[in-house]
Structure 1
Amino acid sequence: MTNSSHSDSRISGSIRKCGLDDAKLLHRLSVETYVDTFDGTSSDEDMQKYLEETYAEPILREELANPDSMFFVISMPSGAQTEAQRQGHRSGNAGADSADSACFVNPGDFADTAGADTGNLSNSTDSVNPTDSANSASPTSPVNALDSTETSAGYMKLNFGDAQVEDMGLDAMEVQRLYIRKAFKGCGLGTQLMNLALKTARERGLKKVWLGVWEHNEPAKRFYTGKGFVRVGQHAFWQGDDKQTDYLMAREV
């Protein structure tokens, strides 16, 4: 980034719905953000097993093809920085979002147009290396860039009807996954995605939105509580062969 004399202006992420061609991108985003969030919460073997059983590209393609599921990717201009990065500090893994800081960008640092070229992503489909994905977490890494002007910053998966992992009824929608990359936490991107989720539920005439969150993920629980979600139950979550507990949280639309 150049040391431009332009004044800083607050920016927001751009969101688009994913298609089958986004399986590679979602694979990399999913592995990177999951490892960043849950590394050390089980054995390496259990983590590896979970990643391979959940985020392999063929599995993601099946999910993308399911008419009762929707994926969205949120992107930021490549010149964007969190306030923490501007002051030389690494962003913390504090949950889906934070209201304490904002993203800014020098408008002259990037072009006005952007595409969605994922040609630089890994071709791996059958194995997942969490170490490689964690090491590629820099927002300027070519393996994570959408193109020269935008960088993928996070994603969300919504489930309807029978695609929900719990039978919450046909009038409910599940937010199964909502992850923001470490470098972009504190930019309000989690809030943007959650607002889209609630808007989607309202447009479909649904009455309830729900999700599962690990019982020990305090930042995420605070985030969802702040969005109006309350605990309504719990269920078992298997990270490999490690049985864990997720709290179920829900709110009316």
Structure 2
Amino acid sequence: MELKYKLCSLTDLEELRLISEQTFVTAFEKDNDPVDFKNYIDKAFAKEKIKEELLNKNSTFYFAYQNSTIVGYFKLNVGDAQTDLKTDESIELERIYVLAQYQGKGLGKHILDYIKGLALSKSKKKLWLGVWEHNTAAIRFYQRQGFVKFDTHPYYIGEDEQTDWLMGYDLSNL
């Protein structure tokens, strides 16, 4: 399976906003209070919010393509754009999503392998992420890929405080 990747720019703003919202809604809408969820979506995936993230020099978004079709995307943060660690030797995988119709085909592993390569090319020692404690399928996926839980942090969907597991991958394993 061959995937190609494209670093997103402002010209990708609307397409990035749409895939960001679509994949998040598909993944989590059913598990959250409708009012809290709508409030979260309206803020987190607003055009201006995504534009601000795209313009942050410490954040990068990439589209993943199979042939010429976008199948997913991811967002990486370094430096002060990271939500927790904020160390020079770490890189945060803040978002990684595969569109529903492409899930279960091994794309997530391919995308994650590409991300590990990007992290190494930036001389990072640790790749880390936050994953909702009730997203057991994602937790199992990350564990199979060598990630280990090292902490937790609160994550808010509207007014609803949830808990994310912080999971890390030691890049010296590569």
Q: Larger strand proportion, structure 1 or 2?
A: 2
Measure how far apart 1:76 and its partner are. 2.4
- Give me the whole-angstrom Cα distance separating, in 1, the residues matched to 2:111 and 2:51: 21
1:47 corresponds to which residue?
Answer: 37
Q: Which of 141, 147, 157 is the equivalent residue of 2:75? A: 157
Determine whether 1:25 maps to 2:25: no
- Percentage identity across paired residues of the two chains: 35
2:143 corresponds to which residue?
Answer: 225
* Preserved CA contact (<8 Å) 1:173 1:210: yes
1:204 corresponds to which residue?
Answer: 122
Determine whether 1:75 maps to 2:80: no
Measure how far apart 1:195 and its partner are. 1.1
Flag the structure with more relative contact order, 1 or 2, with Cα contacts below 8 A and sequence separation at least 6.
1
Aligned ranges for residues 101-120 of structure 1 at < 5 Å?
Answer: none
* Preserved CA contact (<8 Å) 1:64 1:71: yes
SS in 2 for 1:40: helix
1:171 corresponds to which residue?
Answer: 89
Q: Which runs of 4+ in 1 moved over 6 A?
A: none
Equivalent residues, number: 171
Letter of the 2:74 partner, please give it: M
1:124-180 deviations in whole A, cap 9, x for unaligned? xxxxxxxxxxxxxxxxxxxxxxxxxx3221100000000001134111000000000
- Give me the whole-angstrom Cα distance separating, in 2, the residues matched to 1:40 and 1:67: 34
With normalisation by structure 1, the TM-score equals: 0.65
1:246 corresponds to which residue?
Answer: 164
* Preserved CA contact (<8 Å) 1:12 1:189: no
1:221-249 deviations in whole A, cap 9, x for unaligned? 01110111000000000001111000000
* Preserved CA contact (<8 Å) 2:133 2:164: yes
Aligned ranges for residues 84-99 of structure 1 at < 5 Å?
Answer: none
- Give me the whole-angstrom Cα distance separating, in 2, the residues matched to 1:229 and 1:168: 18
Letter of the 1:35 partner, please give it: V
Structure with bigger gyration radius: 1
1:11-64 deviations in whole A, cap 9, x for unaligned? 422211111111111111011111111012221111111111111111111111
With normalisation by structure 2, the TM-score equals: 0.94
> Over aligned residues, Cα RMSD in angstroms?
1.1
